[in-house]
Amino acid sequence: MSDWIVRLIEQSGYLGVGFLMFLETVFPPIPSEVIMSIAGVAAGQGKLSYPLVVAAGTAGAMLGNILWYLAARALGIVRLEPIIRRWGRWITMSWSEVLRAERWFASHGTFFVFVGRLLPTVRSLVSIPAGLLRMRFRSFFIASTIGTAGWTALLAGAGYKLGQNYGQIDRVLGPASNAVMIALVAGYFYRVWTHRHMPVETVESKPPN
């Protein structure tokens, strides 16, 4: 995969960087660590400008972030209410917890999105709760842009400094990504266990018009 990324960046420059980061956001298995570090190497070699590499990577990732946000917002959490009430144990969340999360998100969602953009694995997913819980687009956009710019600048800067040894970046961030994934999986099973006696909720019937 690295060879393909190198060729695309060499042939398409900033447009290739932005396109790859868009794909990485929409399809998380494509690693941003490799994309931005390779782009940083090109900047270190004088083939590209480091600030423009960061700008291109941030713009591409933000297009993907906004796509996920708008899709989740169009769906809306209310449409998921019957599923959450019926399968709350396996989703590990009751409808009352969703309502509490919605209130919490209204006050702390900006910080959640900003920090989430700086975490491996999680960074590609935070648009979904932001959209489902109808976070203000302006707050989402600002927090996402700042966090995404920080992430891309860090990776591109590492590639810029390490040169062709950008594989060292993955050796550092790879275990970090795995640790985050393990923590998420462990947290899920813990929540399933603690919610094992959660009763099945029913959707309250609305009074007739």
pLDDT of residue 144: 96
Q: Which of 50, 51, 25, 30 is nearest to 40 (CA)?
A: 50
Residue 120 confidence (pLDDT)? 76
- Give residue 67's pLDDT: 95
pLDDT tens over the chain, length 209 residues: 567 888 888 899 999 999 999 998 888 667 788 888 889 988 988 899 999 999 999 999 999 999 999 999 998 887 777 766 666 565 666 666 777 777 878 888 899 999 989 887 778 888 988 998 888 999 999 999 999 999 999 999 988 887 655 555 556 555 655 555 566 566 555 555 565 555 555 544 444 33
| pLDDT at residue number 206 | 44
pLDDT (0 to 100) of residue 95 = 66
Q: What is the pLDDT of residue 58?
A: 97
Cβ atoms of residues 6 and 38 within 8 Å:
yes
Give pTM, 2 decimals: 0.71
pLDDT of residue 89: 61
pLDDT of residue 17: 95
Cβ-based neighbours of 168, under 8 Å, separated by 6 or more: 162
- CA dihedral sign of residues 43, 44, 46, 49: positive
Residues 51-68: b if buried by 16+ CB within 10 A, e if exposed: eebbbbbbbbbbebbbeb
Residues with Cβ within 8 Å of 156's Cβ and at least 6 positions away in sequence, in order, are: 36, 37, 39, 40, 43, 50, 53, 54, 57
**All structural domains of the chain with their residue ranges:** 2-194
Sign of the C-alpha dihedral computed for residues 104, 106, 107 and 109 taken in this order: positive
Give dist(CA 34, CA 166) in Å, integer.
8
